[in-house]
Amino acid sequence: EDQVTQSPEALRLQEGESSSLNCSYTVSGLRGLFWYRQDPGKGPEFLFTLYSAGEEKEKERLKATLTKKESFLHITAPKPEDSATYLCAVHPGRSYIPTFGRGTSLIVHP
Amino acid sequence: GAGVSQSPRYKVAKRGQDVALRCDPISGHVSLFWYQQALGQGPEFLTYFQNEAQLDKSGLPSDRFFAERPEGSVSTLKIQRTQQEDSAVYLCASSLEAGGHEQFFGPGTRLTVL
């Protein structure tokens, strides 16, 4: 059974305080690992796709990395507008159905 | 821009009532997913369509849940005889192609069963 565990569940940062969110996974043949951002009352918004170990993607203050067992979402010098829940999802190679983690709730204080 | 839309945004139902939730995916998107999201949880898969074909409905909690996408575009999730445990946010997502691509989510329908 595919499993995704995200840590920490919640994270509070001061503006400018860099940190990382973790997504540990077990999946039978990874087709892709996805990061989404979800704001309160809205649907998840796509951020990144990673397909193979060693791959990295960047967008503004966010950088996603992937190993064979986990992915990290690094946030550099965060701003209050980065406050959201960040979700990780894995797509197994054998099906089209993704498994989502429970998310990390990030709050960035000004 | 034309993203994924869902209606209604909020629905309050009395226990035992039937409800229908609508999803308008991005035009031309082949794949359509329905998810259930409880407070503080990630989205849980319910069912998957590729065009008009329902390829996987393994996540539907019971036979009270039914989904359709008759013309390969708009989809409806129907819940019969609603129960309190059905209260959740129901998310719809579409994807351009089949299999393993980023999904574009709608804003969700928050269902409250009293």
Predicted local distance difference test score (pLDDT) of residue A93? 84
Which residues share a beta bridge with B20? B78
Q: What's the count of helices (H) and strands (E) in chain A, helices before strands?
A: 0, 11
Predicted local distance difference test score (pLDDT) of residue B1? 55
Closest residue to A43, CB basis, from B44, B91, B100: B91
Contact in structure between A13 and A104 (CB atoms under 8 Å): no
Burial of A41 (0-12, 13-18, 19+ CB in 10 A): exposed
Record: fold of B5-103: Immunoglobulin-like (2.60.40)
Residues A13-22 have a mean pLDDT of 98
Which residue in the block uniquely carries the two structure tokens 């796509």?
A: A46
As a whole number, the mean pLDDT across chain A is: 95
Which residue in the block uniquely carries the two structure tokens 């204080």?
A: A109
- Kindly give the pairing relationship between strand B31-37 and strand B44-50: antiparallel
Residues B9-32 have a mean pLDDT of 97
How many angstroms away from the CA of B101 is the closest CA of chain A? 8
Closest residue to B100, CB basis, from A91, A100, A102: A91
Structural domains in chain A, CATH included, are 3-102 (2.60.40.10)
